[in-house]
Structure 1
Amino acid sequence: MSVNTGDTGPLSAIGEHRIRMTGQEAPLNLHTMLQLCAAGELRCSEKTRRPSATTVAAVGSQLADGDFYLHDPIASFAWPLIIQAGGLATIDGGRLKLTPKGRTALRRPPAEVIRGLWQRWLTHAVIDEFSRIEQIKGQRARNVLTSAKNRRQTVAQALASCQPGEWISVDSLFTTMRRKRLSPTVARSEMALWKLYLIDSQYGSLGYDGYHRWEILEGRYTAAVLFEYAGTLGLLDLDYLHPTGARSDFHDNWGGDDLDALSRYDGLQAIRLTALGCYALGLTDTYRPPTDDKTTAVLKVLPNLDVVATGTLSPGDQLLLSGYAEHTADRVWTISAAGLLSAVDTGRTLEDLATFLAERTDHELPSSLTTLIDDITRRATRLTDLGHARVIECADDALAALITRDPALRNLCRPIGDRHLAVPLEHELKFRRALPKLGYVLPRQTTP
């Protein structure tokens, strides 16, 4: 097939055309997402787990080549959901915070992390992708939609059958999926189709003959998976237009003439399976990045603890630096003891900083920095968090000694001074049950 080339970056105007080589930008965007989570910059709903509008805008502004469209978020909406589904971040107080698995991902090869994210997303996605096709109403009615998990896996199977490195038009893929019976069936039954509609639940119902064609339901769902998730993760290069007027297969439906597009994914024209996609789909066992693994020296660390950017830093690298150092000038970050202590307090490790700086400089790190890192590392290991505990006051030191020496109680508490005991919360119930055998009881706290 013939494919036109286009500029990178978000597409905004009707009639414009883009080709995005997502395999190169996805690893950069993954790094940025993890750093945004580490900085506590992303907010998601505790109830729906969807990102807020402010978060979507913040992610879009940091993506390597921007989102696919200028005013209709796709990748910037998908990334917070993908990170959650992969177990790399969880919502804490309305903000996405890195999990231990997420912090480990910061040190792993991006391709390995992306492969894990795709495989995890297939079975643990946060939302049903079909819900993003807002023009089709009635989706929330009971017993209407099939299992999204099964649909996802069907689309993944269809992707795995594509020829690596070769463009295939979306319509050709649709034809192949139908021929091979790889249909991600959307509606549970014929009755369920009557509950789905455009514009009006009666006249625009998809239950009418010809109103629920494969391209309208299964095709649009497939396009959502390809564009918003496989494309975002770098599994596919994308050839796409502005969605307005890109497809006319819904115009025969009642109300279709009133819509510019049936979905934000209507502009997707063709896809090409990337090397990263082959690795994520399990078609190959190894993955070799398209560029040399050696990171270009883009930083200079001065003895006064200033870090100067001498080249171009990715958004993720800038976020990482700002997590440890103060951004004091346009291309300068200043490291200090207070900044490093603050970073450790938020869960960052100084080893990650040292590795990051060593990989992006062409000189040895100054002794002033290594000495400071060693000193802060030593201080950070002098205190240990033993978790929450209930503090109990005894009437006298004799009773405290009696309890701490009792065979049934001594492993359930720790002495604090002469008359106080600390009982870890996980041992409190056993502690209360053992006390009566010693002839004592711990009264429950009462609210005044």
Structure 2
Amino acid sequence: MQEPPAKALQTAWKRWLQTKTFDEFRRIDAIEGQTGRGANGMTDVAWRRDAIASVLAECPVGKWILFNEFSTYVVATGHKFEVTEEPYYLYIGELGYGSLSDLERHIPQTVQQFLADVKERSNSLQDLGTVKLIECTSAHLALLIANDSRTKKFCQLAGDRTLAVPLGQETKFRTALRQMGYVLPQSDK
């Protein structure tokens, strides 16, 4: 008899937390030094998994979270996932030139805040595409059209007397306007 998917996932999760025979970090072939001298400094796999599981337990249930958001949360809340106690033995490329210990330099709080601000500001605006701006003769007419059940799904108020209509919705907007008894003249602009 086959387990329901939720139960199977729960079983797999519990087994993954308990296993010590597989280290996911070893799958990152670009990071060298994991065998040999670097192997002695690697932290316990079970400890790392417990640390990850404890942060995942803080996530909302039943909601997908983007990896970048999760990573930001991990850093912001001070959680740490130490992979090695000796990062100078791990490297990318050549030992001495691509040491992972170089990544652990202290970053001042002001720089961290600046980087956080840049990230937030770079994600604060979104281009929703090109619109046609339509000026109404009065604010009352603009409100009437923006809130009418036939036209409101094709336009938005963009000021007191101005409506914004996405270019892909213009034909539907014009049809809905005619149903209301209004006509938008064709424009060469």
Q: TM-score, normalised by structure 2?
A: 0.48
- Higher strand fraction (1 or 2): 1
Structure with the higher helix share, 1 or 2:
2
